[in-house]
Chain A
Amino acid sequence: MNSRLTSSWVTARVQFVLAAIFVVAGFGKILDPPGFAHEIYNYKLLPGVAVNALAIVLPWIELVAGFALFVGVARRSAARIFGVLLIVFVIALSVNLVRGRPVDCGCFGGPKVPKTDVQRLGDMKIAIVRDLGMLLLVWQVLAAVRREERDRR
């Protein structure tokens, strides 16, 4: 990989951006767990009994992992967690797009204003592209951590 892409200058900024996005996303959901439970339910991918537990815990995982990445602790683990979450988000959105079922992403908490189905479907596509872009950032962090470890040896 191009060493410029894994330079400490780039990595510090990528880590900051990733951490900030997940901290903001987690905090938005923590403010309103019932609203997030509603969003998860609307995806129609989980049994009803599992919806609340996920709505309670997932935002905190985003927040704690985001904070860890921000302060530079357990960076590889935090980045891996983000990678897994982003893949799950992309799959959940894609399944509902294929079903033709418009859902509010719920990525940063509930929508502030009601949306039409067409707006929701458009937003779902944007969210998938955004999540794929964030997966590239995760990949950069993992590559940079790997390179730093190699350089230390």
Chain B
Amino acid sequence: MRRDSSWRDAVGIVVVAVVAAAVSNALAGPERKLHWIGSYSSAVPAAPATVVPTPSPGAAAAAVTPAAGDEAGKAFAPHPNKAWVEISGEDVAALYARGNILFLDARRTSVYRAGHIAGARSISIWEADADDKVKALFSEGRDQSAPIVVYCSGGDCEDSHHLGEKLYFVGFDNVLVYKDGFPDWEKRGLAVKKGDAP
């Protein structure tokens, strides 16, 4: 009997915790809120995904041609069979120099606020509004084949890869992951901005 009572108490503790957690999460602001069901893949593949995306109206657009004077001199063609491809810091710097490339920061909003690539927009994949922000980006009617550079903290950080997958599944087929991320950007002494604004 005593043992049953002990297990009943344990269940009671868990039930109280679940209710408190649900209330806390419901009342949390966008930076603290989580969807109960995560939308992350269990593991980011070592090589870019090879899933064929749903064809989109902009998918047939021609490969992006580098602007005149582009130091890298590379064309970052759309890759409709891959969710993302990784690119080096040199390539990222060359793309940034073009001035018309969208940069997205996949790190937490608080980290973004402390310093981000000047002009980059924040879409933290760990915060509950990530999917809404991706949908809003899609709704802007951007060219889905134009390069989008996503980054996080470099090293073993996978946030940018996850964001790349989200972008890919709404139809963007030219997501470029900045492999070495923001630490590399800072090391290069390139433009950094603090605060909420891009």
Interface residues of A (CB under 8 A from B): 30-35, 37-38, 41, 44, 46-53, 55-57, 59-61, 63-65, 68, 74, 76-78, 80-81, 102, 114, 149
B9 on interface, CB distance cutoff 8 Å: yes
Given A48-B42, A77-B6, A56 contacting B16 (CB threshold 8 A): no
Complex interface: stretch among B31-39, B54-62, B134-142: B31-39
Interchain CB contact under 8 A, A57 and B21: yes
Q: List residues 92-121 of chain B with CB under 8 A from any CB of chain A.
A: 108
B2 on interface, CB distance cutoff 8 Å: yes
A31 to chain B, nearest CB (A): 8
Interchain CB contact under 8 A, A65 and B13: yes
Interchain CB contact under 8 A, A60 and B20: yes
Interchain CB contact under 8 A, A56 and B31: no
Residue of B nearest to A30 (CB): B24
Interchain CB contact under 8 A, A49 and B43: no
Instruction: Give the number of chain B interface residues (Cβ < 8 Å).
Output: 38
Q: How far is the CA of A102 from the CA of B156 in the complex (A)?
A: 10
User: How many contacts between A and B, using CB within 8 angstroms?
Assistant: 100
B108 to chain A, nearest CB (A): 7
Interchain CB contact under 8 A, B21 and A52: no
Given A52-B38, A60-B18, A149-B2, A33 contacting B25 (CB threshold 8 A): yes
Could you show 5 A-B contacts with beta carbons less than 8 Å apart? Answer: A30-B24, A47-B42, A52-B37, A74-B12, A78-B13
Q: How far is the CA of A74 from the CA of B17 in the complex (A)?
A: 14
Residue of A nearest to B3 (CB): A76
Residue of B nearest to A78 (CB): B13
Interchain CB contact under 8 A, B36 and A53: yes
Return chain A residues, CB-CB under 8 Å to B36. Answer: 52-53, 56
Q: How far is the CA of A44 from the CA of B127 in the complex (A)?
A: 19
Interchain CB contact under 8 A, B13 and A41: no
B181 to chain A, nearest CB (A): 12
Interchain CB contact under 8 A, A57 and B37: no
B145 on interface, CB distance cutoff 8 Å: no
Residue of A nearest to B24 (CB): A30
Return chain B residues, CB-CB under 8 Å to A61. Answer: 13-14, 17
Residue of B nearest to A55 (CB): B34
